[in-house]
A and B are shown apart, each in its own frame.
Chain A
Amino acid sequence: MAHIETTDPNGYKPNQEIFSEVLQSLAAGDRDIIAVTSDSRGSGKLVPFGKKFPEQIVEVGIAEQNLVGVAAGLAAAGKKVFAVSPACFLTARALEQIKNDVAYSDNPVTVVGISAGVSYGALGSTHHSLHDFAALRAINNITVVVPADNFETARATELAATTNSPVYLRFGKKVMNSLKEVNDDTFVFGKGRVITEGNDAAIIACGETVFPAVQAAKLLAAQGIDVTVVSMHTIKPLDTDLLAKLAQQCKAIVTVEEHSVYGGLGEACASYLMQHGLHKPFRIVGIPDEYTVTGSQQDIFNHYHITKEGIADVVKKLL
């Protein structure tokens, strides 16, 4: 098992901050980079961006439908647009604009869902986005990317700026530890990133749940169970080659996500495996279909056992 830095968050940042820093460096060299915000520059850590590049930020006020429509119009006129708003509003209230004005019209907007999942855990279901993977997976022509650590977020932001098609980028507020000590791997959309390797089981996770998955792998390793952990940062298109390989080499598969257990990463994997005859013991860890408990993000993760112990238990029960 590779050495993994799993304990010390010092020096790491929330992915939202990394996004903002990378966007600033991109904007410095390219006047066509535009951030569109809906009174969301504070949450999106884009205040410094707005100060440095006042001509490259378009503020529409609290109006998410308009945010996405305006972003589509800017992109249609050649701008490289990042439409930034809390994922809960962006992918619900403006879903029709994402579907029609961005995806269907093929306007290359990067729709950036910030403070995603249960980042705003204590604020209640209005502020949770546990539906966005499901909703966007069912929409043609949008790549759905959920980076886990700072490295993935930086690369995903850079890639989105050069991808001439719609992208949904989703991350949260939590300080994210680096998953690898040395980030020398190639990051591309649609290819999962293998964090640890082992043939007993595979844990396929995304976003802020990859870290507890890696911790679970450590716990399991101490008990003699070797686990592959994958950061499946691209939910769509799914890395089905990697998935098939894992299904062939591992005895069980567990998926983990900060999303409803309906329609997200887990069901995407299950669908592929089932339809390709790759039948292995399989469980989806996520937020169940119920009135979601409130509290901090960590409280909610604890409640639904999206923790190193919870994930490790699920793996052990399958073996």
Chain B
Amino acid sequence: MERIDLLKRSVEYRKKILKYIVGAKAGHTGGSLSCIDILNVLYNHVLNVSPQNFSSPNRDRYIQSKGHCVEALFVVLADKGFFPEEHLETLCQYKSHYIGHPTRKVKGVEQNTGALGHGLPIAVGNAIAAKLDKKDYKVYTLMGDGELPEGSNWEAALTAAHYKLDNLCAIVDKNTLQITAPTTEVCNTDPLDEKWKAFGWAVKEVDGHDLEALKKAFDSLPFEPGKPSVIIAHTVKGKGVSFMENNLKWHHGVPDKEEYALALNELENSIRKAAV
């Protein structure tokens, strides 16, 4: 996909994330906005996944470990044709399948997630199965930096290196804020690159909002043969809406009518700027 199309798509996704969070009066606004560029590049450039091949054993696998940012995943899946976008009008409503975390009741979702620290172990299992079956699909999992203190992540990181899973890529959406405070104040995981390297992973750091840099990073997988890869994506929580950026209030803040209008206006302007 051309650079400008991808850029526009990111803005459209952000508008839709806000639309459905406002409609549901609930959602994880800041984190969905921080990871949406990563999801955009994954689903529009990287993953061999479509509604048509979703039952194929050879499809790539994407597991969203930071399940609370499900709004980002849902708008991308709707855009890719997994389900009609209007389904998202039921987000978080009674008996809707479109709940606050990914579930397999929604077409396109690989695994039910929501409790943190679960995505990577499952992805490791997927990747081992691919190796055993000599299949060449790749496995991706998106983690938040706030979930990294969960010990299960590091158990799985060891297994991934032990089994030389170079068909596995973890992406850390390092937006540096979690519900209480900056991650460095809650439980500092820096220096993150050194931790992953010490666990036997090949590491690349990118600007998680630079679509071309993300494409380049994904295109160069695996970063080292025989090693699992991790992309540490430096992102901004609430990215794209000035008053939401780097502001803890928007971890799961829902914009009121005025804030929503302001946010849409900013996003529209950013499309116009990108088109120039």
A104 close to B112 (CB less than 8 A): yes
Residues of A within 8 A of B163 (CB): 58
State A63–B153 Cα separation when bound (angstroms): 11
CB distance from A60 to the nearest CB of B (A): 5
Closest to B117 in A: A65
A96 within 8 A of B: yes
- Among listed B37-45, B75-83, B120-128, B240-248, interface-contacting one: B120-128
Known: A60-B159, A70-B121. Contact between A76 and B111, CB under 8 A?
yes
B129 close to A61 (CB less than 8 A): no
B152 within 8 A of A: yes
Interface code A96-137, partner B: CB below 8 Å = 1, 0 otherwise? 110011001111000000000000000000000000000000
B234 within 8 A of A: no
B121 close to A69 (CB less than 8 A): yes
Closest to B141 in A: A73
Closest to B126 in A: A73
CB distance from A144 to the nearest CB of B (A): 20
Closest to B153 in A: A66
A71 within 8 A of B: yes
B130 within 8 A of A: yes
B57 within 8 A of A: yes
State A72–B112 Cα separation when bound (angstroms): 11
CB distance from B198 to the nearest CB of A (A): 16
Interface size range of chain A in the complex: 20 to 34
Residues of B within 8 A of A73 (CB): 121-129
A70 close to B122 (CB less than 8 A): yes
State A58–B121 Cα separation when bound (angstroms): 13
Interface code B87-111, partner A: CB below 8 Å = 1, 0 otherwise? 0000000000000000010000011
A96 close to B121 (CB less than 8 A): no
State A75–B125 Cα separation when bound (angstroms): 8
Contact of A70 among B61, B113, B117, B156 (CB under 8 A): B156
Among B111-145, those with CB < 8 Å from A are 111-115, 117-118, 120-130, 132-133
A65 close to B129 (CB less than 8 A): no
Closest to B151 in A: A65
Among A139-185, those with CB < 8 Å from B are none
A63 close to B122 (CB less than 8 A): no
Residues of B within 8 A of A75 (CB): 125
B128 close to A74 (CB less than 8 A): yes
Residues of A within 8 A of B152 (CB): 63, 65-66, 69, 97
Residues of A within 8 A of B151 (CB): 65
A288 within 8 A of B: no
Among A39-92, those with CB < 8 Å from B are 55, 58, 60-61, 63, 65-66, 68-79
Closest to A63 in B: B155
CB distance from A104 to the nearest CB of B (A): 5
Closest to A100 in B: B115
Among B193-236, those with CB < 8 Å from A are none
Closest to B159 in A: A60
Residues of A within 8 A of B271 (CB): none
19 residue pairs from A and B, CB less than 8 Å apart: A61-B159, A66-B121, A66-B152, A68-B121, A69-B120, A69-B124, A69-B156, A70-B124, A70-B156, A72-B125, A73-B122, A74-B129, A76-B122, A76-B125, A76-B129, A77-B130, A96-B118, A97-B121, A105-B111
Q: Name B residues whose Cβ lies closer than 8 Å to a Cβ of A.
A: 57, 61, 104, 110-115, 117-118, 120-130, 132-133, 151-152, 155-156, 158-159, 162-163
